[in-house]
């Protein structure tokens, strides 16, 4: 395990929850990989990568094997033993695997094709589960799964080459204008969205700007630039300040609420680097 000493205590805290859900790798015995938030299998993998654990680390490779064990031949991931398979589940699993380094795996390629084949008419992705009832707003796609899917695709050869991804970017930029809660799961752009959340987990300003910065379609769009300007206005001494974090992550040093985060700030500079590329 090759991690800078300053973050070893954070790694140890995350690892201390490894068996919380009844099985290894933060999972349940029946392979529910999104149970136990914020210490789910998928979340914990991303935290460890954020803290500097190498994708080649044995632990992460074993987690990848576990995630792939839920993969289906049609490209989807079944993260719960019972019930439907929703696009957000496949989005989260794919995103985690791409971060670990599996974007070129033949199974992920099939998943990418599944996403391209199932894109909704507005450019995003959505499911047919209506927890909040039905209304005009539920005719839109779900912004967070769409953002997570774009996050996964940025690791692929489709980045800035596939017009369907441009359409997904357009959908998310349009949400900046709409603002109101949309999609079957009612994702909105309001007070909570505008709070800088880190590590990346939920639909918020920081994740929104970060992921879109990889896409040429967004880089010069006035809506994206407005979002970036707001993000920058929240910085202190050129550092990202964490405004919101899940309470159960409060013990971790790299994401203290109300404090600058060195690791979060590295993503801000990635944004600036992305804007220089066309």
Alpha-carbon distance 160 to 162, whole Å? 6
Q: Quick check: 131 pLDDT over 70?
A: no
| Per-residue model confidence as pLDDT tens digits over 9-24 | 999 999 999 999 999 9
Q: Can you give the pLDDT at residue 69?
A: 97
Q: What is the mean predicted confidence (pLDDT) over 217-235?
A: 98
Count of other CB atoms within 10 angstroms of residue 32: 19
Q: What is the mean predicted confidence (pLDDT) over 70-92?
A: 93
pTM over 0.85: yes
Q: Can you give the pLDDT at residue 83?
A: 80
Alpha-carbon distance 71 to 77, whole Å? 4
The full 3-state SS of the chain, as one line of letters, equals CCCCHHHHHHHHHHHCCCCCCCCCCCCCCCCCCCCCCCCCHHHHHHHHHHCCCCCCCHHHHHHHHHHHCCECCCCCECCCCCCCCCHHHHHHHHHHHHHHCCCCCHHHHHHHHHHHHCCCCCCCCCCCCCCCCCCHHHHCCCHHHHHHHHHHHCCCCCCCCCHHHHHHHHHHHHHHHHCCCECCCCECCCHHHHCCECCCCCCCHHHHHHHHCCCHHHHCCHHHHHHHHHHHHCCECCECECCECCHHHCCCHHHCCCCECHHHHHHHHHHHHHHCCC
Q: Quick check: 139 pLDDT over 70?
A: yes
Average pLDDT, the chain: 94
**CA–CA distance from 103 to each of 31, 107, 145, 170 (Å)?**
22, 9, 18, 23
């Amino acid at each position: 395990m090759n991690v800078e000493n300053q973050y070893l205590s954070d790694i140890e805290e995350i690892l201390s929850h490894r068996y919380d859900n009844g099985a290894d790798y933060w999972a349940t015995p029946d392979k529910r990989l999104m149970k136990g938030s914020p210490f789910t299998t998928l979340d914990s993998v991303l935290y460890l990568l954020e803290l500097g654990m190498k994708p080649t680390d044995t632990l992460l490779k074993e987690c990848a094997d576990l995630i792939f064990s839920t993969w289906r031949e049609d490209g989807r991931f079944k993260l719960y033993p019972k019930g439907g398979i929703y696009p957000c589940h496949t989005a989260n699993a794919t995103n985690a695997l791409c971060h670990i380094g599996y974007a070129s795996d033949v199974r992920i390629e099939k998943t990418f094709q599944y996403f391209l084949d199932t894109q909704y008419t507005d450019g995003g992705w959505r499911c047919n589960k209506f927890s909040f009832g039905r209304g005009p707003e539920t005719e839109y796609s779900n912004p967070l799964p769409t953002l997570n899917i774009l996050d996964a695709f940025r690791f692929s050869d489709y980045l800035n080459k596939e017009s369907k991804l441009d359409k997904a970017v357009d959908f998310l930029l349009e949400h900046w204008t709409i603002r109101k809660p949309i999609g079957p799961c009612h994702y909105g752009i309001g007070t909570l969205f505008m709070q800088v959340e880190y590590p990346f987990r939920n639909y918020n300003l920081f994740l929104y700007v970060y992921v879109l910065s990889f896409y040429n379609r967004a880089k010069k769009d006035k809506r994206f630039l407005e979002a970036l300007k707001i993000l920058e206005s929240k910085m202190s001494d050129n550092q990202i300040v964490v405004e919101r974090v899940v309470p159960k992550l409060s013990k971790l040093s790299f994401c203290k609420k109300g404090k600058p985060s060195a690791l979060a700030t590295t993503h801000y500079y990635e944004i600036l680097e992305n804007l220089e590329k066309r």
